[in-house]
Amino acid sequence: MQILLPDNHPSLSMSFQVREMLKSSFPNSPLTFFQYKKVHLDGNISMISNRPDWTKASFNLNNRKVYSCTKKEYLDKNSYWFLWDHNLFDAPLAIARNEFNIANGICFLERQLDCYYLMAFATNKSLENALDYYLNRLESLKCFILLFRNNQTALLNQLDLNRIILSKESQDPNKDILFLNRKNKRIRIPVIFNKFKGYITPQEYECIKGLPSGKTSKDIAMDLKISYRTVEGYFSRVMARIGCRTKQDLITLLCQIEDEFS
């Protein structure tokens, strides 16, 4: 499971952009670490941090490369956060803490249709009451994540073009339940149509995806191996819930969702 990243890989060579942004956003702060990690549908990743030394060292370790935390109460949420020390294996964390002064980590997990994000912060190991520190700064940390993703689009595109290929053993074992397009009946995909906020389920989304190609409800039902009446029921519920009037409105809604998550 050892992976050698060349020094010119964007995950290493572009780390200075993350470092400068973190320093300017949190001056004189005990925060020593930020990591952006995007897990794609195939389990491979795009990632970068402000610490290329730790990134390179972690890929030299003979262990899994992606860690997430899932609990029963998280499975109906599109996003949540968890603390490293309470929820992840200690072996790589001990090396990060003892050799790189990266400790007391918090990770924000955001689930989307065909990917999910693990965006983590950590402090130096001397910080006491890390939970209190994070709870008092949750909005600032979320704001930083938003700014990073909005301001670093060129960098993020480069990372997507240079994904890190992982063996199955190196991938996140939780990945198959973290993508929103998986058949999890409790998941809700937030949507806005004509300024009306609502949601659709993954099953409804899969049905709507057949409309732009001209498929009928019977065609969609055959593709998904469900009944025609079930497909029509999904369409009717979405229309009532979101305020759509026609199937063309559903296609417009689909385009909005796919633009947002592309």
Tens-place pLDDT, residues 9-65? 999 999 999 999 999 999 989 999 999 999 999 999 999 999 999 999 988 888 888
Residue at token pair 């689909």? 254
Instruction: Could you please state the CATH topology (level 3) that the domain comprising 10-178 is classified under.
Output: Beta-Lactamase (3.30.450)
CB 39 within 8 A of CB 45: yes
β-strands 196-200, 79-83 pairing: unpaired
What pLDDT does residue 243 have?
A: 83
Q: Does 144 score more than 70 pLDDT?
A: yes
CB 49 within 8 A of CB 119: no
Q: What is the pLDDT of residues 170-220, one digit of tens each?
A: 999 999 888 876 555 556 778 888 877 788 888 888 899 899 989 999 999
- The DSSP string of 55-115 is HHHHHHSSS-S------GGGTT-SEEEEEHHHHS-HHHHHHHHHHH--EEEEEEEEE-SSE
CB 241 within 8 A of CB 198: yes
Q: Does 261 score more than 70 pLDDT?
A: no
DSSP state, residue 170: G
The mean of the pLDDT values for the chain is: 87
Q: Which amino acid is at 99?
A: E
Token pair of 205 as six digits: 């989304």
What pLDDT does residue 127 have?
A: 87
Q: Which amino acid is at 174?
A: N
Instruction: Report d(CA 189, CA 198) in Å as an integer.
Output: 9
Instruction: Could you please state the CATH topology (level 3) that the domain comprising 189-261 is classified under.
Output: Arc Repressor Mutant, subunit A (1.10.10)
Vertex 135 angle, CA 99 and 14, to 5°? 45
What pLDDT does residue 186 have?
A: 58
What pLDDT does residue 260 have?
A: 61
To the nearest 10 degrees (0 to 180), the angle between helices 153-161 and 138-151 is 70
DSSP state, residue 216: -
Question: What is residue 140's three-state secondary structure?
Answer: helix
Q: Where do runs of H (alpha helix) occur along the chain?
A: 10-13, 15-25, 52-60, 84-87, 90-100, 130-135, 138-151, 153-161, 175-178, 202-208, 217-224, 228-242, 247-261
CB 66 within 8 A of CB 170: yes
What pLDDT does residue 183 have?
A: 52
What pLDDT does residue 192 have?
A: 83
Q: Fold match between 10-178 and 189-261?
A: no
Q: How far is CA 158 from CA 12, 162, 207, in A?
A: 12, 6, 33
What pLDDT does residue 12 have?
A: 95
Q: Which amino acid is at 213?
A: S
Domain segments of the chain as ranges:
10-178, 189-261
